[in-house]
Structure 1
């Protein structure tokens, strides 16, 4: 299934740093999201545009993960030649990630 089936996202950017939060719709799905959406998978997904570290912060009390991606915006949002390679576009790509189906 797609991550978007069980989660939504919020984004932000500052300079050349982008962050994407993934928030479970239902807290019972948080352990699946935590296991499936790893730093390695996020780095692999954005390997063409993220040229720095990716750090994951887990916030179980609200069923969320926050990924902070360094050197992710082509020098910064206002300096990038990309049409919109930040914010909602990156979140949409992350929410399209395939994750295991819930256990029956």
Structure 2
């Protein structure tokens, strides 16, 4: 087993609505998608954003797109117009999540193609 940052095997995008952000994570292959489903849980995402996300984190798995969407509540310290955070719209959350380390097995394919 090897530990790799999510950025080496996936892509992501994030956005906001009020005090809630969402992060979509995409795998380029079925093998990588299976690793992501195994390794990137709502609990791990909430722990990764400790101190930033104070509410519930829900994971939605979208197998036909080889993707997952994480909805994180109470994540912007009140929302875009109320927060004093530098990232008041939640755009940096995807980049931040890409630093999450996951375990990937020798038989899992690291190739993004």
Q: TM-score, normalised by structure 2?
A: 0.86
Query: Any conservation in 2 of the 1:49–1:72 contact (CA below 8 Å)?
Result: yes
The aligned residue for residue 110 of structure 2 is none
Aligned to 1:48: 51
Q: CA offset at residue 49 of structure 1?
A: 1.1
Asked whether the 8 Å contact 2:22–2:72 carries over to 1, the reply is yes
Output the CA distance in 1 between the equivalents of 2:37 and 2:90: 21
Do the aligned residues in 1 keep the contact of 2:14 with 2:92 (CA within 8 Å)?
no
- Relative to its length, the structure with more helix (as a share) is 1
Runs (5+) with no aligned partner, structure 2: 108-113
The answer to whether the aligner puts 1:62 opposite 2:65 as a matched pair is: yes
Matched, 1:73 2:101: no
Q: Distance in 1 between matches of 2:88 and 2:7?
A: 19
Task: Compare the two structures and name the one with the higher strand fraction.
Answer: 2
Instruction: Tell whether the 8 Å contact from 2:81 to 2:88 is kept in structure 1 after alignment.
Output: no
Among 25, 29, 32, the alignment partner of 2:32 is 29
Supply the distance in 2 between the matched residues of 1:14 and 1:53 (Cα, whole angstroms).
15
Determine helix, strand or coil for the equivalent of 2:103: coil
* C-alpha distance after superposition, 1:51-83 (max 9, x if no partner): 110000000111101000011111001211011
Alignment: residue pair count: 104
